Amino acid sequence: MNVTVDRNAGFCWGVVRTIEIAEEELAASPKLHSLGHIIHNPVEVERLEGKGLETVTHADFERLRGQKVLIRAHGEPPSTYELARRHGVTLVDATCPVVTKVQERIRRFVDRDFQVVIFGKKDHAEVIGLVGHTNGRAIVVGTPAEAAAVDPGRKTVLFSQTTMDKEEFQKVAAVLRTRVAELEIGTFEESAVEFHAKDTICGQVSGRDKKLREFARANDVIVFVAGRASSNGKVLFEICRSENPRTHFVETDEELEGAWFDGAESVGITGATSTPQWLMDRVRGSVLAFEARRHKATV
């Protein structure tokens, strides 16, 4: 049985940057705090905790005076920076530059008195941060149906959480175009992060769609590795499953089931932009171990 790890899977460059910043800080100091889980992958979080990273909440700032708190790739609202200032907490800002660019663009439209609509998940950390940059006035919609509730009488701009599905974003935009007379779609300008798109969905996320579909079709079985809290992971998993019904979601190799691979000649291992390469390699090794035991039992 051929078992292949998807070379296009794994950490996006924004997550790589955040992990590198955290590891540099931990190498220089025995303790670093992360505001929320640094990424939506419990196995990688556990690895970093072993190096001294502690996950905290906003409520912990009062006891962290004089200490360092990492802002993860999702970003934070302005209120977090003010809270840190009041309590004497030093922030290590590892916000993904793509997210930072969205925040900057949103503020420009707020200054021009636009109604800001964000396509995303209301409780997602990135969206909470984006809404904070509108003084809490942004309208968050998760489906095209919800977009119908937007006030059609105001000049409006549509942005997206960076990890949402591109096709669904376009459906939301289509609904707003039929209702709102003055509508703009949030766009990036050319910048130092070398990112340019017609919408605010991360190009590294949306760009995976085609290659992921090809990878899913090319294998008899797909094992999708991601944290269950990963928004990006949920989207990419559904893309895989739409192309290959023998797609299985796991957080670790301990969740693998031997029956998944019955009759399979090829197995593909892939994952989310928050899935570490070392974990996908470990899952590959466990799948090969299943096959070795099966082969030994039949000899």
* Residue from 126, 167, 182, 189 carrying the catalytic annotation: 126
CB 75 within 8 A of CB 49: no
For residue 283, give the nearest of 245, 235, 250 by alpha carbon.
Answer: 250
Cα–Cα distances (Å) from 140 to 134, 167, 179, 249, in that order, read: 11, 17, 17, 28
Active-site residue 54, yes or no?
Answer: no
Farthest-apart Cα atoms in the chain, separation: 73
Instruction: For CA atoms 250, 263, 10, 197, give the dihedral sign.
Output: negative
For residue 3, give the nearest of 213, 264, 299, 275 by alpha carbon.
Answer: 264
In degrees and rounded to multiples of 5, residue 234 shows phi and psi of: -65, -40
In 33-180, alpha helices (H): 42-49, 78-87, 97-111, 125-132, 144-147, 166-179
Which residues belong to the active site? 126
